[in-house]
């Protein structure tokens, strides 16, 4: 590797903290992704999470599943699927893997709890740095399963800076989100295309012309978000 190259690393560890509590006790919770985290006084952490569920999730349900945490807000983001942005104040020990990565100068990119484990993506300087980070994680979490490594000259977005999903969902109406999400799930944007406009319109119970109009509005709003002037 050159001096500017880094290693992008993906590994898995056992569930712990808030992801463990929600996946093991929360009904129909499918995954929990850590979007961002900020320290608060008295060893606390303000966590921003994306929670995907097989059914509706209420703030009361989350509070019952996380009795030692303080739920700040719960906001639904998906139009037809049960995806939520959740902000919670918890003890720093509830997301120790993030602290371990930053304390050991690794760049965290993704932390997702699903299927009885945490999936972690991070960037490290080199193989020696990876050994140091892995040792620190294993000391706290036990065994670590290395899924893969990739050499890269760009570390990429750290945790919490890629806000496209949150920004887009906040700029689109429920109707627009429903059209976009249905088209995506049915493969309308795949190459080759897996579903026609007629099939998408039929699924939504609207005409093809109405579908085209709504998709154009979605495209316009999305392009405005990316290329429009800041206000």
What is the residue-level pLDDT of the chain in tens, covering all 231 positions?
A: 555 688 999 999 998 888 887 787 656 788 889 888 887 776 678 888 888 888 887 778 888 888 778 888 888 775 556 888 888 888 877 778 888 998 999 999 999 998 889 999 999 999 999 999 999 999 999 889 999 999 988 767 777 655 555 556 666 777 887 888 888 889 998 888 899 999 999 999 999 999 988 888 888 877 776 666 544
The pLDDT value recorded for residue 131 is 96
Domain 164-227: CATH class, spelled out = mainly alpha
Q: Do 81 and 181 form a contact (C-beta atoms < 8 A)?
A: yes
β-pairing, 145-152 vs 117-124, is unpaired
Task: Find the DSSP H helices in the chain.
Answer: 17-25, 59-65, 96-103, 127-141, 164-171, 174-185, 197-204, 208-227
Q: What is the pTM of this model?
A: 0.68
Question: CATH 1.10.10: which residues of the chain?
Answer: 164-227
The pLDDT value recorded for residue 40 is 77
Distance from C-alpha of 123 to C-alpha of 92, rounded to nearest angstrom: 22
Q: Closest Cα to residue 159, out of 116, 223, 95, 115?
A: 95
Task: Say which residue the tokens 């979605």 belong to.
Answer: 218
């Amino acid at each position: 590797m050159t001096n500017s190259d880094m290693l992008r690393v993906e590994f898995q560890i056992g569930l712990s903290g808030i992801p463990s509590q929600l996946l093991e006790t929360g009904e129909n919770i499918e995954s929990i992704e850590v979007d961002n985290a900020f320290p608060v006084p008295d060893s606390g952490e303000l966590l921003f999470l994306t929670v995907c569920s097989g059914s509706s999730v209420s703030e009361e349900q989350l509070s019952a599943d996380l009795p030692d945490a303080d739920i700040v807000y719960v906001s639904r983001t998906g139009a037809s699927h049960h995806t939520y942005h959740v902000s919670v104040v918890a003890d720093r020990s509830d997301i120790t893997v993030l602290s371990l990565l930053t304390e050991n100068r690794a760049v965290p990119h993704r932390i997702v709890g699903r299927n009885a484990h945490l999936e972690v993506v991070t960037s490290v300087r080199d193989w020696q740095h990876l050994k140091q980070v892995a040792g620190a994680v294993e000391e706290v979490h036990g065994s670590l399963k290395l899924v893969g490594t990739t050499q890269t000259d760009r570390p990429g977005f750290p945790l919490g800076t890629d806000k496209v999903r949150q920004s887009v969902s906040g700029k689109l109406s429920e109707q627009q989100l429903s059209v976009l999400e249905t088209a995506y799930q049915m493969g309308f944007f795949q190459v080759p295309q897996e579903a026609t406009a007629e099939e998408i319109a039929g699924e939504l119970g609207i005409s093809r012309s109405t579908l085209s109009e709504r998709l154009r509005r979605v495209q316009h709003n999305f392009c405005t978000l990316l290329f429009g002037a800041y206000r």
